[in-house]
Chain A
Amino acid sequence: MARLIVLGGGVAGHTTATFAAKWLGSQHEVVVVTPNAKWNWIPSNIWVGVGQMTKEEVTFDLASVYAKAGITYKQAKAVSLNPEGNESSDKPFVTIEYTSKSKSGESENIEYDYIVNATGPKLNFDATPGLGNGQGAMGTNTVSVCTADHAVHASHKLQESIEKMKAGERQKFLIGTGHGMCTCQGAAFEYIFNIEHELKKAGVRDMADIKWISNESFLGDFGMGGLHMKVGGYVVSSKLFAESLFAERNVDWLIGAHTSKVEEGKVEYELLDGSKGEEEFDFAMLIPPFAGVGLKAYAKDGEDITATVFAPNGFMKVDANYAAGAYENWKASDWPRTYQNPTYKNMFAAGIAFAPPHIISKPMSSPNGTPINPTPPRTGMPSGIIGKAVAHSVCDLMTKGENAHLHEASMAEMGAACVASAGKGLTTGTAAAMTVYPVVPDFEKYPGTGRDTDYTFGEIGLAGHWIKHILHHLFLYKAKLNPGWTLIPE
């Protein structure tokens, strides 16, 4: 019996573990190491953040689901990897630290035959002074919707602002990115329009000034260098699409901005032209930059080999071309296909945890040398598809031997579907429904836009809201492994 350990029970890790357990049956063991007791459908945190859903509606307990699937579940966080074992054993192992109440603080070494790192992002609030609390967590100056608990807190703060406006006090809302190297603009984009919708519903829109602040060099970059989409018979840049949404809703924007410092009620920023400025706020939701979760790696003799296994940003090295060089040389083929670590072939990374070869947007910096450009998004659909492909590969390696064919899932050959809601009602509010194909542009195949304009489109309307509702229920149903779960695509 061989053992597969999956680190992280989020979108990618949960997909890998559940498919591997199904395909391997009781012949082999699947272990999930993840610090939270609950699974979270993160996209719906946006609705929690405006008080339209509760934490309970977007989360469920993992223990019973893993018991049903025959998966060994350790509520713990991985700390380090020993891919060559140690001086007393050749068997690779991972060191974990329990986070469950009953075993909190205890640590354990677990041996593995194969390991998948799906630990997602570290929310690196402390990269911007005042955005974090100095101890790795969110500070008190802004709110976040990155976790369900953050979103509950954001919703309370929003209610406080609404009450103030009802009492006649004007409020300034600042939503966007909290650093020049952030990704996940889409989440902030969806949140700002949900806030705008809620303020209208509460009858206080006239009392609010709403502003977007972002590291994108143009509105609608989304960390993907923007996209050209078919709208009304034209192929248009997402810049026009996004600017239209903002102008229609009277939401101001500040782009090409590196948020350099956050204080109570104020951010300081530097723009792409090198100028500096300040923006005041009463309520701010600024997405933190992402980094790897900080796993260490050690060789058999105890030597620190973290830099061999992980990129400097903490994400795990995989089969990507990390030597692509300047922007002019970037190719779709730089992007990984199998997500296998080049040094240790029994090690894979899935979802946000893999190190991308480079960013997707055009690299930019201010004349002062401050890099101000979005880092590449790895949204839910690619994370799930990669998680499943990695599960396939690992299962084949375990059952057919180490020469088994590896399954491939390049982000330059896969699309993504995104729905950014603006409200939650079934007959009110509108959503922007978008698909992009492929996520990473391929200018050799599509020289003009980098993407297939037949499958890259955007549309605004109620239909998007209905799709977002359906996706919410469908993905929670699937993640709970209810009957027919394998039929629901990632």
Chain B
Amino acid sequence: MKHEEKNFEKSDQFNLTMIPGSFARKMRTCVIWQFIRFVAINIKMIIVVSKSH
């Protein structure tokens, strides 16, 4: 059974949410993609920090 099938069927609360599929989950731990996201998130955080000072 797919990961998301298992959790969606667990409760009504869970059934009304969004649960990531296998591709989204893989990308979260894919080192190359995450390195790109690391750079992007840092840039965004630096902008927020500079707007706040």
A binds B: yes
Given A243-B17, A248-B7, A253-B13, are A459 and B49 neighbors across the interface (CB < 8 Å)?
no
- Chain A CB count within 10 A is highest, among B8, B31, B51, for B51
| A414 surroundings in chain B (CB, below 8 A) | 51-53
| B11 surroundings in chain A (CB, below 8 A) | 252
**A430 at interface by CB-CB < 8 Å:** yes
| A341 surroundings in chain B (CB, below 8 A) | none
| A246 surroundings in chain B (CB, below 8 A) | 14, 17
**A455 at interface by CB-CB < 8 Å:** yes
Complex alpha-carbon distance, A171 and B38, angstroms? 36
B20-35 interface bits toward A, Cβ cutoff 8 Å, 1 = contact, 0 = none: 1000000111010111
Contact B53 A385 (CB under 8 A): yes
- List the 3 closest pairs (A to B, CB-CB), nearest first: A414-B52, A463-B38, A415-B48
Contact A462 B19 (CB under 8 A): no
Contact A381 B17 (CB under 8 A): no
A431-450 interface bits toward B, Cβ cutoff 8 Å, 1 = contact, 0 = none: 00101010000000000000
Complex alpha-carbon distance, A414 and B45, angstroms? 12
| B35 surroundings in chain A (CB, below 8 A) | 463
Residue of B nearest to A254 (CB): B13
Interface secondary structure of B, over-half rule = helix
Contact B31 A435 (CB under 8 A): no
**A247 at interface by CB-CB < 8 Å:** yes
- Beyond known contacts A381-B49, A416-B48: 17 more, CB 8 A cutoff: A244-B17, A244-B18, A247-B14, A250-B10, A385-B52, A385-B53, A409-B52, A427-B31, A433-B45, A435-B45, A455-B44, A455-B47, A461-B29, A462-B28, A463-B35, A463-B38, A490-B49
- Interface pairs (28), CB distance under 8 Å: A243-B18, A247-B10, A247-B13, A247-B17, A381-B52, A385-B52, A385-B53, A413-B52, A415-B49, A415-B52, A416-B48, A416-B52, A417-B45, A417-B48, A427-B29, A427-B31, A428-B29, A435-B45, A455-B47, A460-B28, A461-B29, A461-B33, A463-B38, A463-B41, A467-B45, A489-B49, A489-B50, A490-B49
Contact B19 A437 (CB under 8 A): no
**A330 at interface by CB-CB < 8 Å:** no
Contact A455 B48 (CB under 8 A): yes
Complex alpha-carbon distance, A240 and B18, angstroms? 7
Contact B48 A247 (CB under 8 A): no
| A385 surroundings in chain B (CB, below 8 A) | 52-53
**A98 at interface by CB-CB < 8 Å:** no
Complex alpha-carbon distance, A413 and B53, angstroms? 9
Min CB distance B53 to A, Å, is 6
Residue of B nearest to A231 (CB): B18
Residue of B nearest to A426 (CB): B31
Contact B38 A466 (CB under 8 A): yes
| A247 surroundings in chain B (CB, below 8 A) | 7-8, 10, 13-14, 17, 19
| B13 surroundings in chain A (CB, below 8 A) | 243, 247, 252-253
Complex alpha-carbon distance, A416 and B37, angstroms? 19
Min CB distance B14 to A, Å, is 4
Given A244-B18, A414-B52, A461-B37, are A250 and B31 neighbors across the interface (CB < 8 Å)?
no
Complex alpha-carbon distance, A459 and B45, angstroms? 12
Q: How many residues of B contact A (CB 8 A)?
A: 32
Complex alpha-carbon distance, A381 and B51, angstroms? 12
Complex alpha-carbon distance, A124 and B29, angstroms? 39
| B14 surroundings in chain A (CB, below 8 A) | 246-247, 250
| B47 surroundings in chain A (CB, below 8 A) | 455
Residue of B nearest to A415 (CB): B48
Residue of A nearest to B50 (CB): A489
| B20 surroundings in chain A (CB, below 8 A) | 244, 248
Min CB distance B50 to A, Å, is 8
| A178 surroundings in chain B (CB, below 8 A) | none
| B34 surroundings in chain A (CB, below 8 A) | 461-463, 466
**A41 at interface by CB-CB < 8 Å:** no
Contact B29 A430 (CB under 8 A): yes
| B49 surroundings in chain A (CB, below 8 A) | 381, 415, 417, 489-490
Complex alpha-carbon distance, A457 and B43, angstroms? 12
Complex alpha-carbon distance, A243 and B28, angstroms? 18
Complex alpha-carbon distance, A240 and B41, angstroms? 20
**A464 at interface by CB-CB < 8 Å:** yes
| A427 surroundings in chain B (CB, below 8 A) | 29, 31
Selected contact of A489 from candidates B7, B38, B53, CB within 8 Å: B53
Contact A464 B41 (CB under 8 A): yes
Selected contact of A467 from candidates B16, B29, B41, B48, CB within 8 Å: B41
Selected contact of B41 from candidates A248, A252, A459, CB within 8 Å: A459
Selected contact of B51 from candidates A248, A437, A459, A463, CB within 8 Å: A437
Min CB distance A399 to B, Å, is 21
Min CB distance B52 to A, Å, is 4
Residue of A nearest to B28 (CB): A461
Complex alpha-carbon distance, A430 and B20, angstroms? 13
